[in-house]
Amino acid sequence: MTPAAPVPPAPGEARRLRIGVLASQGDFAAHASMLRSLGAEPVEVRTPQGLEQLDGLVIPGGESTTITKAIERDGLGPAIRAHAEAGRPILGTCAGMIVCDREHLGLVDATAERNAFGRQIASFEVELEVEGLGPDPVRAVFIRAPRITEHGPGVDVLARVDDHPVAVRQGRMVLCAFHPELTDDSRMHALLMALATAARQDGERVASRESADA
């Protein structure tokens, strides 16, 4: 297993990447710690205002029904959708995969099945090849994990277990059924940060063109 190297800010960059971690429920502190180790500024998100000025967002594992109810209670749904519609990336892990599917927030054209590999007693770890993360496999920790049961043509499958999709990507939305924050392999978070960097650069190019046309 080859963990990703920390990513320092680019020369001349005004600020570090600000990556939000939805803190309604789940192990958001472990995600924040991993993001910090990569050079990002993690931000715990509990309100719609907390999503402002973010470069990316993690929706962590936990219990999908509890997280969904918290999103509804706190009025976070429109702000999360606006974040995605603005082209800023989201990493949904375990329950976060379910929360992002077409039956919930509708951020990815896919349907996730809860507890697809059995309940906690059937949790497991596996060496998993994930497309785009290099030749070394990821040590993937599955706990009451979901899986993708159906997806549209715009969704790319990045990894499978027993031929079932367990990591997918649609544009800058990345979903995985496992818990990348529970190992020392930071490549899933590094992927999110790379997508966030690309989104920021796109925004800066648009702003520059608009300024030139003004």
Taking only the tens place, the pLDDT of each residue in 19-59 is 999 998 878 999 999 999 999 999 999 999 999 999 999 99
pLDDT computed for residue 2 by the predictor: 45
SS3 22: strand
Domains within the chain, CATH numbers bracketed = 18-209 (3.40.50.880)
Give catalytic residue positions: 94, 179, 181
pLDDT computed for residue 3 by the predictor: 44
Distance CA 151, CA 135 (A): 26
How many helices and strands in the chain, by DSSP H and E? 5, 11
Tell me the per-residue pLDDT of 181-207, one tens digit each, with 9 for 90 and over: 999 999 999 999 999 999 999 888 877
Q: Quick one: which of 96, 118, 100, 117 has its CA closest to 109?
A: 100
SS3 115: coil
Are 99 and 105 spatial neighbours (Cβ–Cβ below 8 Å)?
Answer: yes
Q: Would you say residue 1 has pLDDT above 60? A: no
- Tokens 């690309």 map to which residue? 198
Total-model pTM: 0.90
Phi, psi of 118 (to 5 degrees): 100, 170
Tell me the per-residue pLDDT of 50-96, one tens digit each, with 9 for 90 and over: 999 999 999 999 889 999 999 999 999 999 999 999 999 999 999 99
Q: Would you say residue 108 has pLDDT above 60? A: yes
